[in-house]
């Protein structure tokens, strides 16, 4: 860690390197989710309607927050930036077609604002008694118009918002969504909510099962702590947050035994999530565990699932849950194919979602590549910026040409050594980067000072000299954390004068 001494060896005031937010909006969302969970547990009205109102109101507020925090300004820059990723529109980090079939529309910044307004007002409108089904249908369509434009942005292109359209569709098809006060326990009135829970449970379980499959394939337990350690170390570069958050990450990286416990519990949580369908008590327990799980993910890795993903978890706390009810809903959906349009659509949508969830491939291949990224954005964890790790001149799938880097309004630096990437990951790296000769591969949109370049090269050499057993060596871990902080110090001191040619 920076020693806090000046050139004469005297103590100097510590320099504040990490100017981002320590807690950020996700913690506010957590404080909002807990009261909503408590309210639903004690609701005296139709639980389906209670969940729908809580969910839609929460998503609407979160949407407005993210839009005005950064997504609005991001799209204005992105749509006129002429960088390679801006030449398409779609979903996911790669800008794919909607459901793999429909091309996404191209919207102007003003039209994008209108899509946000339509989505927000339809979500809020569904909370009132007037035509909630129509409002939910409009919100379902508006979601695709809004998010397909900002697929490159944080809190937009990843998994955080993917549960929203399916949840809105199921609630729009629910027979009980217009009845506010009547409590109903029949399958005919509950099947839509059961289908939502099945999709969520399959997503978590699929994630856990692919980690187990990876453990068997590579003969290395995913929960041994080193994978989570590597994820956290990557986040120290690209999503450090504020000083307090960075300190938490540094402590976690140097405590691999604690990460073994955290990773193992996370794996059990994901694989066993279908048990949440068994009863209200188990559903409420898994809902609370999910909030704790995603809070930990935010602090250690900087990913926000609380503001858009977690509200659907509240559904598991509703009374009336049981294996029998869920199985009856599935049977009802299968029996109605071709007879009831709404139920048939919900059943097929749920079946496809479960299939996709259970065939996911986790991005982990035993050994992590030596590749890191830093940006000059203190609010990198917040809405409105591109993911600094995914889009890169070295990435074959999410290619960002080197000549596009100067088009960004802030500093970007990506570096590492990719000539020893595991063969399972080589398809994600451009061939010229795999064949690069030299001590380090470096991309930047500013003149890199010698002291920064020397520190980065030392970081690469240190990682190349390390062996798997060094992940448990406290001395070497401290050396890596200290060197990472030194690199960040030199990066912050570097002037942001865009260069015509990068290293």
The reply to whether 216 and 351 lie within a common domain is: yes
Strand runs labelled E in 115-185: none
pLDDT reported for residue 5: 46
Whether residues 423 and 473 fall in one domain: yes
Percentage of the chain lying above the pLDDT 70 cut: 90
**pLDDT value for 479:** 94
Residues 221 and 347 in one domain: yes
Q: Do 166 and 119 share a domain, yes or no?
A: yes
Q: What distance in Å separates the CA atoms of residue 399 and residue 205, rounded to the nearest whole number?
A: 31
pLDDT for 1: 39
Shared-domain flag, residues 212 and 321: yes
- Residue 392 and residue 414 in contact, taking contact as beta carbons nearer than 8 Å: yes
* 70 lies in some domain: yes
pLDDT digits (tens, 9 = 90+) for 88-141: 999 988 899 998 899 999 999 999 999 999 999 999 999 887 789 999 999 999
Q: How do residues 349-400 score in pLDDT, each as one tens digit? A: 888 888 887 766 555 545 567 899 999 988 888 898 988 788 999 999 899 9
How many CB atoms neighbour CB 24 within 10 A?
22
Domain boundary among 181, 197, 212: 181
Q: How far apart (Å, rounded) are the C-alpha atoms in residues 27 and 155?
A: 15
CA distances from residue 490 to 63, 325, 450 in whole angstroms, order as listed: 36, 59, 10
CA distances from 96 to 6, 76, 386, 503 (A): 52, 21, 17, 32
Same domain, residue pair 190 and 334:
yes
Number of domains in the chain: 3
Assigned domain for 14 exists: no
Global pTM exceeds 0.85: yes
Check whether residue 303 and residue 337 sit in a common domain.
yes
Please give the full DSSP string across 36-63, using - where no structure is assigned.
HHHHHHT--S-HHHHHHHHHHHHHHHHH
Structural domain harbouring 267: 185-360
Among 113-127, 150-164, 231-245, the minimum mean pLDDT is found in: 150-164
Q: Is residue 8 in some structural domain?
A: no
Predicted confidence at residue 180, as pLDDT, reads 64
Nearest to 269 by CA among 295, 298, 301, 292: 292
How far is the C-alpha of 140 from the C-alpha of 123, rounded, in Å? 9
Do 202 and 163 share a domain, yes or no? no
Whether 351 and 381 share a structural domain: no
- Residue 139 CB contacts under 8 Å (≥ 6 apart), including other chains: 56, 119, 122, 123, 126, 168
């Amino acid at each position: 860690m920076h020693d806090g001494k000046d050139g004469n060896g005297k103590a100097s005031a510590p320099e504040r390197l990490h100017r981002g937010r320590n807690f950020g909006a996700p913690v506010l969302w957590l404080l909002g989710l807990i009261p909503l969970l408590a309210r639903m547990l004690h609701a005296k009205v139709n639980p389906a309607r209670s969940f729908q109102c809580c969910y839609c109101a929460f998503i609407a507020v979160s949407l407005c927050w993210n839009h005005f925090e950064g997504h609005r300004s991001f799209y204005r820059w992105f749509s006129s930036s002429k960088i390679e990723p801006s030449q398409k529109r779609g979903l996911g980090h790669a800008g794919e077609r909607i459901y793999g079939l429909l091309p996404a529309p191209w919207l102007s910044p003003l039209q994008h604002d209108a899509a946000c307004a339509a989505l927000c007002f339809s979500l809020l409108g569904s909370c009132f008694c007037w035509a909630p089904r129509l409002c939910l249908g409009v919100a379902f369509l508006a979601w695709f118009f809004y998010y397909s434009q900002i697929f490159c942005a944080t809190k937009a292109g990843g998994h955080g918002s993917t549960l929203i359209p399916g949840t809105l569709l199921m609630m729009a098809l629910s027979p009980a969504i217009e009845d506010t006060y009547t409590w109903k326990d029949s399958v005919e009135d509950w099947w839509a909510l059961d289908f939502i829970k099945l999709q969520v449970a399959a997503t978590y379980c699929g994630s856990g099962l692919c980690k187990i499959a990876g453990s068997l394939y590579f003969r290395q337990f995913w929960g041994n702590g080193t994978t989570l350690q590597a994820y956290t170390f990557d986040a120290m570069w690209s999503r450090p947050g504020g000083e307090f958050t960075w300190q938490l990450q540094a402590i976690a990286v140097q405590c691999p035994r604690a990460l073994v416990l955290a990773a193992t519990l996370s794996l059990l949580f994901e694989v066993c999530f279908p048990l949440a369908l068994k009863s209200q008590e188990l559903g409420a327990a898994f809902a609370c565990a999910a909030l704790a799980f995603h809070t930990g993910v935010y602090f250690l890795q900087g990913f926000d699932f609380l503001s858009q993903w977690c509200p659907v978890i509240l559904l598991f706390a509703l009374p009336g849950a049981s294996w029998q009810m869920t199985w009856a809903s599935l049977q009802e959906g299968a029996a109605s194919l071709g007879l009831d349009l709404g139920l048939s659509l919900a059943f097929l949508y749920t079946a496809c979602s479960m299939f996709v969830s259970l065939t996911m491939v986790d991005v982990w291949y035993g050994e992590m590549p030596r590749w890191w990224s830093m940006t000059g954005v203190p609010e990198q964890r917040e809405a409105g910026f591109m993911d600094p790790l995914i889009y890169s001149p070295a990435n074959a799938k999410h290619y960002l040409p080197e000549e596009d880097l100067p088009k960004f309004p802030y500093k970007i630096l990506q570096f590492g050594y990719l000539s020893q990437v595991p063969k399972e990951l080589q398809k994600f790296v451009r061939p010229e980067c795999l064949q690069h000769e030299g001590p380090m591969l470096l991309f930047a949109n500013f003149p890199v000072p010698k002291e920064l370049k020397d520190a980065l090269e030392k970081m690469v050499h240190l990682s190349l000299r390390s062996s798997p057993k060094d992940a448990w060596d406290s001395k070497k871990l401290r050396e890596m954390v200290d060197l990472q902080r030194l690199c960040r110090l030199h990066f912050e001191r570097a002037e942001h004068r865009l260069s015509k040619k990068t290293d």
